[in-house]
Structure 1
Amino acid sequence: MKGKIILFLLVLLPFLNSIAQEIQLKGNGIIVNLDGTNDPNTEDGTLFPETPVLSSSTNSFTLTNLSSKKIHIDRIRFGLSDFYVPDDGHLHNLKSGESVVFDIFFQPNAAGLKSTTAFIEVTMGKYKKNFFFPY
């Protein structure tokens, strides 16, 4: 059973700057596109390896604040319970230029290919944005 993420982004407030100028996501040191053009692959961690039911695989990602403002990461959630971030509480505040590493776990509950969407909910000042990528 494999799990996958296809990365793309929804900016709720289109009059703000492009997300590519505000936040960067890397998996295995490779920039993950946040515009929907990313194909799931093992190189950037968006495709999990075969994982037996009730076992788990982990991929690490680095989130960097490229904006000049502090951002608050409200939470990271998924459309399927097979994917999760065990403790996203340490991700909350990133000053300009700061990065944080977080793990996404894939623990399939049943056999078959799994796809979901990962939502990264971010607040910059008084504006909220959702970044999401199918996984």
Structure 2
Amino acid sequence: MQKYRIAAVILGGLFLASPAMAQSTNLAYATGEPRSETIIFLQKGNVLPPSAAPMVSNAITAARAGKTVHLQGRTDQAEAVKQEMIRDGAPANAIVVAHEPVKALPKVDSVSDAASRTVAIKY
């Protein structure tokens, strides 16, 4: 009889463990990890091109809604995007800038020049 009780406890624990394990996957989404990532290419002189306006606008909306917007890129480009977002109404404390070191790329038809002017926007 004792064997059956032990088996019942073990089996009961297995059945109860699966809902608990399913709930733990929801915790991964509650950590505030960025769910959206966009990469924009600035024009020479750290100017945002018109094609980047919708992506920056979405990031501004997210910042106004209380999300933290992460900008990752070279110092001058990331700061240019941050200042543009602040000018357009994003709260400055909702924008975090992560500076990347400059990586020299081989020059091939000005591809490296454009690649060095990228800023990733994550929120």
The TM-score, its normalising length taken from structure 2, stands at: 0.29
Q: Please tell me whether Structure 1 or Structure 2 has the larger radius of gyration of its CA atoms.
A: 2
Structure (1 or 2) with the greater strand fraction: 1
The TM-score, its normalising length taken from structure 1, stands at: 0.28
